[in-house]
Copies of this chain bind each other. A is one copy, B any other.
Amino acid sequence: MKISAQEEYGLRCILQLARKGAGEIGTISEIAGKEGLSVEYTGKLMMLLRHAHLVESLRGKNGGYVLGAVPEEISLGQVMRALSKPLFLEETCDDYPGQVAECVHRRECSIRPVWVTIGTLFNGMLDNLCLADLFDNEAAVASKVRQRLLLEMCPVH
């Protein structure tokens, strides 16, 4: 269980863009330089974000990327989904069926609720955190993560 390189680096790239002023352009080479990534790889990551409409590209000289919305309106969930297909997935049972056509645990699976519960909380929390939330210092962000997770676990009806 780990964060993939694409998820981690892609999030860092869009965060670099988000830290700039509204509408300010960031180029691939600028972002690559700031993150210590190759220009080629950074380009690939930005393409993924662009296909998800989280950033917009401006081609040609003086071109670059701008955020597709204000940092308050782009959730970490959106970013993660743009960078990795299933995202923690509640479909672990479908993904790992074994050799049997239908998952052996189709009827009653005691592992599924573990992953599903964690996955649901995790996804909900990421959907309730936005890029702007990450502008704060480490302690503040950690506190916000807990707060959003708690919100997921004990929703106010």
Contacts and interface: CB of A to CB of B under 8 A. Distances in A.
Given A1-B4, A146-B117, A111 B137 contact: no
A134 interface: yes
Interface in A90-107: 92, 95-100, 103-105
Given A36-B104, A84-B1, A113 B138 contact: yes
A9 B100 CA distance: 13
B117 A36 contact: no
Given A2-B92, A36-B97, A118-B122, 15 more contacts: A2-B84, A2-B86, A2-B95, A9-B96, A9-B98, A12-B105, A15-B111, A38-B99, A76-B114, A108-B138, A110-B141, A111-B134, A113-B139, A114-B129, A114-B141
15 contacts: A1-B2, A1-B87, A1-B122, A2-B89, A3-B92, A15-B111, A37-B98, A108-B138, A110-B134, A110-B135, A110-B138, A114-B129, A114-B141, A114-B142, A118-B125
